[in-house]
Amino acid sequence: MNKQEMKEAILEAKFEKGLSWNDVAKAAGLSPEYVCSACLGMNHLEKPEADKVAEALGFDSAMSTALQRFPTKTWDSTIPTDPLIYRWYEMLNVYGETIKEMINEKFGDGIMSAIDFTMNIDRQEDPKGDRVLVTISGKFLPYKSW
């Protein structure tokens, strides 16, 4: 089973069982954001967690094996048309240089890791309309001279 087949099967099973990413993640003992990313094929799970996710979704060892395989992280070079994903591209296009400038000013010349990284997505109630709260935390990696 390749990652694309895995992703499609997981999304179908999750829908059919009426599970949330919180439900699936709880079975694995990991964050919903990371488990979701692994189930969509962009990260992998270690065997114990992969077994638990596969079981929670009603799959056998073939699904666990697929979840354990290391991903090839690629994406289309075109801007996605899905409105929610497109808005992230828009935010980075508008604020990307600002984010870079602010990080460089506060930390120096370097990057924020997307490997030593966490992300939480929450709902924030607001009387004017609920808000999406995304918290991203990545280790700062300074460039070095040699």
Instruction: Look up residue 118 and give its two tokens.
Output: 């966490």
Q: Are residues 104 and 86 in the same domain?
A: yes
Q: Are residues 14 and 63 in the same domain?
A: yes
Instruction: From the candidates 5, 87, 97, 131, give the one annotated as an active-site residue.
Output: 87
Please report whether residue 84 resides in a domain.
Answer: yes
Residues sharing a CB contact under 8 Å with residue 139, sequence separation 6 or more, in sequence order: 112, 113, 116, 117
Instruction: Return the SS3 of 81.
Output: coil
Instruction: From the candidates 20, 61, 113, 137, give the one annotated as an active-site residue.
Output: 113
In this prediction the pTM is: 0.81
Give catalytic status of residue 131 as yes or no: no
Count: domains in the chain: 3
Q: Are residues 85 and 100 in the same domain?
A: yes
Q: Are residues 58 and 89 in the same domain?
A: no
What tens-digit pLDDT sequence spans the chain (146 residues)? 999 999 999 999 999 999 999 999 999 999 999 999 999 999 999 999 999 999 999 999 999 999 999 998 877 778 889 999 999 999 998 889 889 999 999 999 999 999 999 999 999 999 999 999 999 999 999 998 78
- Taken in order 20, 31, 141, 103, the sign of the CA dihedral is positive
User: Domain residues for 92?
Assistant: 78-108
Can you tell me the distance from the alpha carbon of 27 to that of 35, in angstroms, rounded to the nearest whole number? 10
In the listed set 13, 42, 68, which residue is the last one of a domain according to the structure? 68
Q: Are residues 45 and 83 in the same domain?
A: no
Give catalytic status of residue 87 as yes or no: yes
Give catalytic status of residue 90 as yes or no: yes
Q: What is the CATH number of the domain that holds 50?
A: 1.10.260.40
Q: With b meaning 16 or more CB within 10 Å and e meaning fewer, what string describes 76-91?
A: eeeeeeeeeeeeeeee
Instruction: From the candidates 90, 101, 131, 137, give the one annotated as an active-site residue.
Output: 90
Q: Are residues 14 and 54 in the same domain?
A: yes
Instruction: Look up residue 100 and give its two tokens.
Output: 């870079």
